[in-house]
Structure 1
Amino acid sequence: MSLIIAYIGKKGCVMASDKRKIGYFGDKQNLKTLEEELYSGAIDNDEDFLNRASELGISIKITDDANKLKVVGNTIRGEVSTKGTFETRRRRIYGTTNGYQIIELLGSETESRKAGEKGIVIFGNVYAKQLAEPLIKRKVKASQSLRYMGEVFESILAEVASKTPTVGDKFDVLMQQPVFSVSEAQKHLNITIDNDIKVLTKFRQELTEQLVQQSLAIDMASKIISKGDVGRVVSIDGNMLHVQLNDKTQAMDGNWKQLAAPGQNVLMFTESDNVKIGDKVVIENEDLCLKKDKSSLKCDIILCSL
């Protein structure tokens, strides 16, 4: 759902991109039908796209706020991505003066890497590229300044957007003009890209850890004890009680790390002066208390079932 046009030459690099992003939800076969019509050019505007999706029972969400271009070091990075069941496939172009590289990524793993010196590179779906290529041949001239070329690219994007919903009508244009020879450009690109992929790898690792933690939190939250026996008093020191957990109860901290396993002791506090060794500790109506007289107890732990 993208169209990115990049020029790389001895003057520098300029890229232009739309900002469209489309989310789908519905029957797979009907979705396939909708995509075939969309990419064949049978649907040529947003209204018809929404109507056809409705006819097929497909829910879609169209937004025009995706940032597909980014300045990284002295290069511009353009990216189109496709989310699969388990991984996101990314296709990136990094461009600077006198050089560019095209990278294929699955997750954060590099599947292919190709280098070039100069030219015009187009990323996008087949139909959008078919619309853009003749416009580029007609409108772009090598003698044009980078700034003017960026304006031409933007006009091409606008014309393509008027003929297919796969390209939005809002655009970004970025330009970089560092002084690099051909060999310097590739050295700079290698360093920049390697560092950028490391950032992606770290981001994915952190995201995975967050998802694991969220999954754990959901699982443990369902195990929080709201009713029943949790243990018995085994030691008393003023208002501090040592409570031995029963064989079905464990104590967790706020990050869902186990502080005490079944059979181990935890610290609780009481304001009652009528506590005896062996008194049972329970949770009733989500309140922690002594079973015998409902005296309130406090603790800094989360009591969960196994």
Structure 2
Amino acid sequence: MSLVVAFTGRETAVMAGDLREMLMQGPDAGIRTFERELYQGSIMSDDSLMQRAGELGIGLIVRDDKCKVSEREGVLIGEVTESEGERVRKRRLYAVPGAYAIADIEPGRFDLRSRGEGSTFVILGNEITREIAHGIIRTSW
């Protein structure tokens, strides 16, 4: 479950991301079921993650070393990736002090989804991780 969080302030921008990457192989229907359960919050621990993948006949590799945040010429870049067979889709967040942009990227296609200005938090991830992050920001900031 990928998560990238950025804050664009008037004078600075900061960004952080998790390091988890999950690679799945197996029947399409099983993977769809597994992802739906995972992203709806039904799978809550690494043990239940591996158990449920096995029940659905899914080969699962979990790594905790994927760098999802980088910096290029003063621009912070965060990226989450989704793959389906050979197809790879990326959602990328660009942040500088006072501004951000979000783009969807597929081979041969770059689609600017949104952009904004001012001091704000921007979160990339699935619905559950975004809800959790927004909740923490609201109660702690």
TM-score in terms of structure 2 length: 0.91
What is the CA-CA distance between 1:9 and the residue it aligns to? 1.3
In structure 1, how many angstroms separate the alpha carbons of the residues matched to 2:102 and 2:62? 27
Structure whose residues are more often helix by fraction? 1
5+ residue gaps, structure 1, are 141-306
In the alignment, what sits opposite 2:101? 101
Tell me the equivalent position of 2:74. 74
The CA deviation at 1:109 is 2.2
- CA deviation string 1:121-154 (max 9, x = no partner): 00001111122211110112xxxxxxxxxxxxxx
Greater gyration radius:
1
CA 57–93 in structure 1, closer or farther in 2 if over 3 Å, else same:
same
The higher-RCO structure (CA 8 Å, 6+ apart) is: 2
User: What is the SS of the residue equivalent to 1:11?
Assistant: coil
RMSD: 1.4
Count of residue pairs the alignment pairs up: 140
Asked if 2 retains the 8 angstrom alpha-carbon contact of 1:90 and 1:107, the reply is no
Question: Who is 2:35 aligned against?
Answer: 35
- Once residues 47 and 107 of structure 2 are traced to their aligned partners in structure 1, the CA distance between those partners, rounded to angstroms, is 34
Q: Structure 1 length as normaliser, TM-score?
A: 0.44
SS at match of 1:19: coil
1:197 maps to none
2:140 maps to: 139
Corresponding residue for residue 123 of structure 1: 124
Give 1:107-186 correspondences, 5 Å limit: 107-118=107-118, 119-140=120-141
Indicate conservation of the 8 Å contact 1:70/1:78, yes or no.
yes
Greater share of residues in strand: 2
Are the equivalent residues in 2 in contact too, given 1:9–1:117 (CA < 8 A)? no
Cα shift at 1:6: 0.5
The offset of 1:113, in angstroms, is 4.7
Q: How much has 1:23 moved relative to structure 2?
A: 0.5
Measure, in 1, the Cα distance between the counterparts of 2:94 and 2:2: 16
